[in-house]
Structure 1
Amino acid sequence: MMTLQDLATRARSLVRGGHRALLGIAGGPGAGKTTLAESLVDLLRQTPPDGRSPEWAAHVPMDGFHLADVELDRLGRRDRKGAPDTFDAAGYAALLRRLREDEDDVIYAPAFERDLEQPIAGSIPISRDTRLIVTEGNYLLLDQGDWAQVRPQLDEVWYCDLGPDERVRRLVSRHEQFGKDHDAAVSWVMRIDQPNADLIAGTRPHADLVIPESVLLSIGDRKTAG
């Protein structure tokens, strides 16, 4: 069975000759992308290559490129936040391109604050010592509009293939955690998240590696236990 250590070994192999590598992790909402990315980076930082600091690996989420609520209100899209056109896809692709070019002493990436449900600019510093960047998000393999600029910047993209029952359960729980009552959470998942998940599922065949549910569940259990 595939393990987190196996995935870490594969991720480490992407960095050859000291060049900077970018690894993408895609999948539907609630599929475990962030948990995998954080667990992978945590493990890689425990054993940096010779002469490197633990910051040789870093996590840069796509969610930092959510459009702010004020802009979603202006565009009339806030009621379907999370759809492909509620992100700055071109800005995300431009950041990945800049990271790949590896010409700056430090590059600042935005994060996404779950409590505020808003992007926060300049939150994640990427130094010259960072050789592996793990980025995760729903639409890394989407070939529509500005999203088509993303995949060429990534050395590999892995797809989190969590089953629909567990994924929906996690999404409902997440929405409840951040303030929705149960009925509102279920409504949002079925009206907004599920159509996005269906779109993302169509990109699965383009992944370099498909990570099965058993592995994602074991990583989630490991993260909880830690």
Structure 2
Amino acid sequence: MGSISENPVEGLALAQEYINRAKTLAQKKKRTILAIAGAPGSGKSTVARLLHEALADISMIVPMDGYHLSNKELERLKRKERKGAPDTFDVWGYKSLIERLKNQQAGEIIYAPEFYRTIEEPIAGSIPIFSDIPLIITEGNYLLLSQGEWKTLSPIFDEKWFVTAPVSDRQQRLVERHHYFGRSIEEAKAWVEQTDEPNAQLIEKNRENTDLVIEWNNPAK
């Protein structure tokens, strides 16, 4: 089970205005990159998934999460307890992929990695992207971050969306997600408080210069 479909909630719908906006982006003559950012648990992956389902013939999702560093490398760097922080991703690798996708040649297949929560590891070559797909939807926590190499990503994106949700909703979703993938409730709550929430606060501070903000309130209702 990969990051695009993790712990899915049935019966959700995305406003038609967002679908129409993305469809218009896909009608440009060149490959278009739509970036969807947001804090952990904000609903950005769900927004990306619903958008892709509505535009299945003309879009592909490329998650930033595929560039998680492996657990082995995080242990070497002594960062495993902060897994999910900005410095636990291969931002240079992700940037290179997006640049390749931006300039993909006719007939070329580019393969993207995907993060699998069932094993807590990324797997290379999991997502094939074909050159005739006009819209790439890329989603992730740090796409709009204004520090380090992350800050060089923004000019590559053609449009930038930010998904936000009430803190209580975000945290509850994260606790449920971590529990779904094997942590006890106590462990899940501790991870959200000590790791996810500091990352979320950093991400929320870097939401300027977005083209669209989506308020994703109570998506399970």
Counterpart for residue 102 of structure 1: 104
Are 2:47 and 1:32 aligned?
Answer: no
Give the Cα separation in 1 of the matches to 2:216 and 2:27: 30
Q: Secondary structure at the match of 1:147?
A: helix
Q: CA deviation at 1:3?
A: 5.0
Counterpart for residue 176 of structure 1: 179
Give the Cα separation in 2 of the matches to 1:175 and 1:44: 30
Counterpart for residue 64 of structure 1: 66
Are 2:16 and 1:5 aligned?
Answer: yes
Q: Secondary structure at the match of 1:115?
A: coil
User: Do the aligned partners of 1:22 and 1:100 also contact (CA within 8 Å) in 2?
Assistant: yes
Give the Cα separation in 1 of the matches to 2:79 and 2:160: 28
Q: Structure 1: which 5+ residue stretches go unaligned? A: 46-53, 222-226
Q: CA deviation at 1:213?
A: 2.7
User: Do the aligned partners of 2:14 and 2:47 also contact (CA within 8 Å) in 1?
Assistant: no
1:81-140, CA deviations, whole angstroms, 9 ceiling, x for partnerless residues?
Answer: 000000001110110011001226110000111111110100100111111000100000
Counterpart for residue 224 of structure 1: none
User: Do the aligned partners of 1:92 and 1:150 also contact (CA within 8 Å) in 2?
Assistant: no
Counterpart for residue 201 of structure 1: 204
CA RMSD of aligned residues (A): 1.5
Counterpart for residue 85 of structure 1: 87
Q: CA deviation at 1:153?
A: 1.1
Q: Secondary structure at the match of 2:84?
A: coil
Give the Cα separation in 2 of the matches to 1:163 and 1:135: 23
Question: How many residues of Structure 1 are paired with residues of Structure 2 in the alignment?
Answer: 208
Bigger mean CA deviation after superposition, 6-15 or 25-34: 6-15
Give the Cα separation in 1 of the matches to 2:14 and 2:182: 34
Q: Could you tell me which amino acid in structure 2 is paired with residue 152 of structure 1?
A: P
User: Do the aligned partners of 2:142 and 2:150 also contact (CA within 8 Å) in 1?
Assistant: yes
Are 2:45 and 1:42 aligned?
Answer: no
Q: Could you tell me which amino acid in structure 2 is paired with residue 124 of structure 1?
A: I
Q: Structure 2: which 5+ residue stretches go unaligned? A: 1-12
Which 4+ stretches in 1 moved above 6 angstroms?
none
State which of 75, 78, 92 in structure 2 corresponds to 1:76: 78
User: Do the aligned partners of 1:22 and 1:135 also contact (CA within 8 Å) in 2?
Assistant: yes
Q: Secondary structure at the match of 1:29?
A: coil
Q: CA deviation at 1:191?
A: 0.5
Matches within 5 A, 1:142-153: 142-153=145-156
State which of 110, 114, 123 in structure 1 corresponds to 2:126: 123
Give the Cα separation in 1 of the matches to 2:19 and 2:94: 24
User: Do the aligned partners of 1:4 and 1:40 also contact (CA within 8 Å) in 2?
Assistant: no
Give the Cα separation in 2 of the matches to 1:124 and 1:181: 31
Q: 1:135 to 1:7 in 2, by over 3 A?
A: same
TM-score normalised over the length of structure 2 = 0.90
Q: Secondary structure at the match of 2:144?
A: coil
Give the Cα separation in 1 of the matches to 2:28 and 2:196: 41
Q: Which has the higher helix share?
A: 1
User: Do the aligned partners of 1:96 and 1:153 also contact (CA within 8 Å) in 2?
Assistant: yes
Q: Secondary structure at the match of 1:14?
A: helix
1:182-207, CA deviations, whole angstroms, 9 ceiling, x for partnerless residues?
Answer: 11111110100000000000012221
TM-score normalised over the length of structure 1 = 0.88
Counterpart for residue 9 of structure 2: none
Q: Could you tell me which amino acid in structure 2 is paired with residue 41 of structure 1?
A: H
